[in-house]
Amino acid sequence: MATHSAQLVIIGSGPGGYTAAFRAADLGVDVVLVERWPVLGGICLNVGCIPSKALLHAAKVIDDAEAMAEHGVMFGKPKIDARKLRDWKNQVVDRLTGGIMQLAEQRKVRVINAVAKFESANLLQLNNGETIAFETCIIAAGSQPVMLPGMPDDPRIVDSTGALEIDPLPKRLLVVGGGIIGLELACVYAALGVEVSVVELMDSLMPGTDSDLLRPFQKIIKKRYESIMVSTKVTGMRATVPGIEVSFEGKNAPATGVYDRVLVAIGRRANGDQLDADKAGVKVSQHGIIAVDKQMRTNVSHIFAIGDLAGGPMLAHKASHEAKVAAEVVAGEKSYFDARSIPSVAYMDPEIAWVGLTEIEAKEKGVEYEKTRFPWAASGRALSLGRDEGFTKLLFDKKTGRVLGGAIVGPGAGDLIAEIGLAVEMGADAADIALTIHPHPTLSETIAFAAEAFEGTLTDLYMPKTRKR
Amino acid sequence: MAYNIDIVIPDLGDFADVEVIEILVKAGDRVAREDGLITLETDKAAMDVPAPENGVIESLTVQIGDTVSSGDVIGKMSPEISDTVVIKPAIAVPPTGETTVMATPVGEKPKSRGKQTLVVPDLGDFEDVEIIEVHVSPGDVIQIEDPIVTLETDKAAMDVPAVVAGRIDSVLVNTGDTVSEGSSLAIIDAVATEAAPQPTAAKAQPSASARPKTAPAPVTQAPPATAASLPAIDEAGFARAHASPSVRKLARELGVDLVQVTGSGLKTRIVHDDVKAFVKAILTGQTAAPAAGGLPKTPSIDFSKFGEIDVQPLTRIQKIAGPRLQASWVNLPHVTQHDLADITKLEAHRQKLKGLAKKRGIRLTPLAFIMKACILALKEYPKVNSSLADDGESLVFKKYYHLGFAADTEQGLVVPVIHDADQKNVYELATELGELSALARDSKLKAPQLQGASFTISSLGGIGGTSFTPIINAPEVAILGVSRSSMRPIWTGEKFVARLMLPLSFSYDHRVVDGAYAVRFTTYLSKLLTDFDSLLKAKK
């Protein structure tokens, strides 16, 4: 006899899990949400997107204040109370996770705090001894940080979760891994006055990203960070009294360095293989990923998988979109994952955001595209923000002018990118954006300008090769 | 029901005095909310006036050709809320959510009738929330889910929707007021109970009829949430289709492969109406459902590469007729039998009668005589006046003779119908031909004047031509094409004589009519036209 029973059980309450739970509940499905932690929200709310953005905001305020000195507004050197800053970050998190709990109560979603594993295709075993019989299941158990093999067990070596506990602040931080997570946290620590070094195995930071997007950012961090070591391998770590001694192998890297904190952010691994999914007949890849169809069904048709462990980019907004598809399918609706683009944002300063086709992808697939790029140095708003390093780039179908993708570098890029995402989804042409009146003076204008550059109607910049369309 | 509501023309934007071109319902019809009631045509577009509510049409006070403007009352309907509205389970859940809360009438449960107070539901942690908009005024008829007020907390704005339908008696709050849970918002004269009980599992998920109280018997493969029997969709093509996310969602709901849909928007963007029209065409058999493989496509060419072009949209009539013509051409095995009828005597006779007829205001055309001849021939060869049953297993013989005739208009081809043509003489036929043709040219034909044909004639003789292959107006089984008559030398057995010969092109559905039957029909028809006396004798 099972302890609980439900029409739908959801494993994991991150942005995928709680969205699926609420959507399904709103459609009249009886839902049980299983979460292994005492709070809802998963990585994103607790130790991911939200807390890191709170800290990044603090970092930006510090940087902006410093930058104004050059233009005649001088503040004193900031005094950082790391504990207070951390507490504020935690308050933000608490408020949000509390809100999620409230939303669950209002919808009569039953929340169970336990670790769940499959017993069969219709039964979950919980680590508190209870069981849940279910008719349908959505697996939304996310991913976890990958650690380097053979690292000493030392509190000074942290993953992204540990790095969010900024109190006490280290003097010297090594970030292993030049991906988005590592670089965002590097940005926070650098602003808080920590000497930051970054080491990346591949030959560039954020591998797979169009290299032009990184240039403005690299120019800035080159001056600020102690060192940026690409094409460099971490060959060993040793815990010593003064710090963690890290040995490197790479052309521009020292043989060793001693750091009083090391952040390992070399990637995340899907949790698909942590659930005994095979007992339910669900196939899981060796990387912990569970393959799904366009309705988010696994190979077992009443069991669904969404989010980080369902393959594709590990992004909260992708998980929540998939969540709605899965929940609607469970409720009997004919929903499919038909999104054509998933935006990516790196929230450093300057922010880097892109959506749809990238140049690397276009070249790989042989897509004939045309690119326009509007430098923010020609944007009145960017200049008045004291930020001229950014740019807005659009990629078009060469023949039809249809918007295929775009990227933005600069403050607020993550907010601005949504317009390009809409253009891609709607199949908009360059003219559709160019002929939409954008407010002046804003950074959003730069998107219109980039479209006008394609159209040949741009007047805010002199383009010698302006063509008549 | 308790009362009738007016059916009112909604806001038409800049348009006034818009013509009614189609009436889609009649008194007594049961309609669902948003169903089209009448079609209006402005100089920009045709649009349907939707039903304001589920219910039964009591009366419609407009006719085709009338002009209407925003706010005009075009009829009355009696709304049905209690037993026809299916309330989505989500709405029936007790007040929840940060952005969707519902006003609950005082009392434990909404009562069926009478005055009730709409109050602010549980707002979660909020109190003293400001009303930023009041959506109703006394006298408004509102439906379940219609917003009463919009509240704004420091987190979000939220609408408070009605949980009962009815007429607003009085509004108790103003914009700017602050309210909390339980505050009265308005008095409503309710007309019906809230229909939905608490959501049941069965509603959300037919496969899971009851919520399991205990562990269900372990099934190795639980039933999937939906039947996975959607038609196969070309996913790669679907992912490239020029359609917005909401159109893609609609296509998924209806199981439509967007690859098969031709967009009517700018640069062939697929819009909602295209998806609906596609489904409608399949359901009504106007378009062959995309069979395995489908029809090979004609190449698409960028003509602008070769010179200047001008793209003009098809007329509404062309858009409607196109798929029907294609469906007939593709589905019916057409054969065309050609023949020549000697109408020398008939024409001479017609010339004599023409003057007299003209005095009576009748334009006595050859077509009136041809129609008369066709009636007699159809009576002799009844298969030509039949249709194939839907299952293809039997023939439906029609005891009536309604003749369609193709009329050329600026908007495109239309086929008005002369009903009970067998009961009319040539003068009457000629009169009706003239009237219907005039209506067709002015786009004023009413639906019944376009329906019910059992046989169709397409006469191009007034323009020219020697023969052609008309497309059958399916589900009819044959059509008579008429070209221009001309003097031809005819061998009598002794000598050539000049005779006025009328070319006939008779297309038939070979599944129903075979070649011998067809040529007997045309031979008989020719004979009738030649020995026209019998036509005149056939009074009615």
Provide DSSP, B426-479. Answer: HHHHHHHHHHHHHHHHTT---GGGGS--SEEEEE-TTT--S---PPP-TTSSEE
Residue A381 has pLDDT above 80, yes or no: yes
Is residue A202 in some structural domain? Answer: yes
pLDDT, chain A, mean = 94
The answer to whether B90 contacts A30, with C-beta atoms less than 8 Å apart, is no
Domain annotation covers residue A462:
no
The verdict on residue B216 lying in a domain is: no
Q: CATH no. for residue A437?
A: 3.30.390.30
- pLDDT interval class at B59 (50, 70, 90): confident
Residue of B86, B87, B91, B96 for testing the chain A interface, max A β-carbons within 10 Å? B96
Domain limit, last residue, from A222, A248, A266? A266
**Judgement on whether residues A318 and A396 belong to the same structural domain of the protein:** no
What pTM, to 2 d.p., does this model score?
A: 0.58
3-state secondary structure A221-262: HHHHCCEEECCCEEEEEEECCCCEEEEEECCCCCCEEEECEE
- Same domain flag for B407 and B489: yes
If asked whether residues B74 and B14 sit together in one domain, one would say: yes
Whether residue B363 lies inside any domain: the answer is: yes
CB contact under 8 A, B90 and A27: yes
- Of B452, B463, B436, B469, whose CA–CA distance to B325 is shortest? B469
For A297-325, what is the mean pLDDT?
97
Overall domain count for chain B: 4
Domain membership of residue A150 (yes or no) is: no
Question: Exactly one of B272, B334, B419, B510 is catalytic; which is it?
Answer: B510
Find the CATH number of the domain harbouring A212: 3.50.50.60
pLDDT band at B90 (very low <50, low <70, confident <90, very high): very low
Residue that terminates a domain, selected from B24, B55, B79: B79
DSSP track, A66-133: HHHGGGT---PPPPP-HHHHHHHHHHHHHHHHHHHHHHHHHTT-EEEES-EEEEETTEEEETTS-EEE
Domain assignment of residue A178, yes or no: yes
Do B72 and B124 lie in one domain? The reply is no
Best probe of the A interface among B153, B226, B269, by most A CBs < 10 A, is: B226
CB within 8 Å: A330 and B97? no
Whether B431 and B388 map to the same domain: the answer is yes
Q: Is residue B125 part of a domain?
A: yes
Examine the domain organization and report whether A140 and A273 are in the same domain. Answer: yes
Measure A271 CA to nearest chain B CA, in Å.
24
Number of alpha helices (DSSP H) and beta strands (DSSP E) in chain B: 11, 28
pLDDT reading at B86 higher than 50: no
Q: Are A19 and A131 contained in the same domain?
A: yes
Beta bridge partners of B505: B338, B481
Tell me whether residue A59 is in a domain: yes
Q: pLDDT at position B62, please? A: 87
Locate the chain A residue with the closest alpha carbon to B241: A427
Do residues B252 and B397 both lie within one domain? no
Residues 47-106, chain B: which have Cβ within 8 Å of A?
Answer: 88-90, 92-93, 96-98
Least confident of B192-206, B322-336, B498-512: B192-206
Give the model's confidence band at B447: pLDDT under 50 very low, under 70 low, under 90 confident, else very high: confident
Note whether B337 and B288 are same-domain residues. no
pLDDT digits (tens, 9 = 90+) for A92-123: 999 999 999 999 999 999 999 999 999 999 99
- Tens digit of each residue's pLDDT (9 = 90 or more) over B238-277: 988 999 999 999 999 888 989 889 898 888 899 988 998 8
Whether A122 and A24 map to the same domain: the answer is yes
**Could you tell me if A128 and A14 lie in one domain?**
yes
Are A323 and A209 found together in one domain?
no
Q: What single DSSP character describes residue A32? A: E
Read off the pLDDT band of B285 (50, 70, 90): low
Position A468 in a domain: no
Residues 6+ apart with CB under 8 A from A447: A374, A392, A394, A406, A408, A416, A419, A420, A433, A438
Residues of B (193-212) whose Cβ lies below 8 Å from A: 199-201, 203-208, 211-212
- Indicate whether B200 belongs to any domain: no
Q: In which domain, by residue range, is A407 found?
A: 344-455
pLDDT bracket for residue B107 (50, 70, 90): very low
Q: For chain B, give the percent of residues with pLDDT over 70.
A: 81
Does residue B210 carry a pLDDT above 90?
no
In a domain, B150, yes or no: yes
* Residue B496 and residue B367 share a domain: yes
Q: Do B119 and B36 share a domain, yes or no?
A: no
In a domain, B197, yes or no: no
Look at the alpha carbons of B353, B354, B360, B366 in this order and tell me if their dihedral is positive or negative: positive
Q: With a cut of 50, say whether residue A452 has pLDDT above it.
A: yes
ipTM of the complex: 0.80
* Average pLDDT rounded to a whole number, residues A137-152: 94
Question: Domain containing B362 — which CATH number?
Answer: 3.30.559.10
Q: Please give the residue of chain A at the shortest CA–CA distance from B88.
A: A27
Residue whose structure tokens are 């006396």: B533
Within a domain: B360: yes
* Enclosing domain of residue B262: 235-292
Task: With respect to residue B137, please indicate whether it lies within any of the assigned structural domains.
Answer: yes
Is the same domain home to A248 and A301?
A: no
Domain boundary residue, one of B79, B103, B120: B79
Among this protein's residues, is B510 annotated catalytic? yes
Any idea what the CATH number is for the domain that residue B254 is in?
4.10.320.10
CATH number of the domain that residue B62 is part of: 2.40.50.100
Same-domain status, B59 and B100:
no
Domain count, chain A: 3
Are B516 and B384 within one domain? yes
Evaluate whether residue A321 is within a structural domain. yes
Is pLDDT of B451 > 80?
yes
Q: What is the mean pLDDT of residues A117-138?
A: 96
The per-residue pLDDT for B136 is 87
CB contact under 8 A, B253 and A102: no
Note whether B515 and B373 are same-domain residues.
yes
Q: A277 with A422, same domain?
A: no
**Smallest Cα distance from A106 to chain B, Å:** 5
| Same-domain pairing of A190 and A246 | yes
Which pLDDT band, with edges at 50, 70 and 90, does B1 fall under? very low
Contact (CB, 8 A) for A122 and B216: yes
A279: pLDDT strictly greater than 70: yes
The answer to whether residues A18 and A105 belong to one domain is: yes
Mind telling me how many Å the CA of A327 is from chain B's nearest CA?
Answer: 10
Same domain, A98 and A168: no
Collapsed DSSP state (helix, strand, coil) of residue A396? strand
Contact (CB<8Å) A338/B249: yes
Whether B155 has a pLDDT exceeding 70, the answer reads no
Least confident of A152-156, A177-181, B228-232: B228-232
Q: Mean of the pLDDT values across residues B87-94? A: 32
- Determine the residue among A10, A29, A435 to mutate to test chain B binding: the one whose Cβ has the most chain B Cβ atoms within 10 Å: A29
B73 lies in the same domain as B109: no
Residue A229 sits in the same domain as residue A351: no
Examine residue A80 and state whether it is found in any structural domain, yes or no: yes
**In the predicted model, is pLDDT for residue B130 greater than 50?**
yes
Average pLDDT over residues B431-449: 89
pLDDT above 90 (res A303): yes
Q: Return the ∠ at Cα B125 (arms to B124 and B127), rounded to 5°.
A: 105
Q: pLDDT per residue over A25-76, tens digit each? A: 999 999 999 999 999 999 999 999 999 999 999 999 999 999 999 899 999 8
- Residue B242 has its nearest CB partner, among A5, A136, A427, at A427
Element (DSSP H or E) covering residue A216: helix A211-224
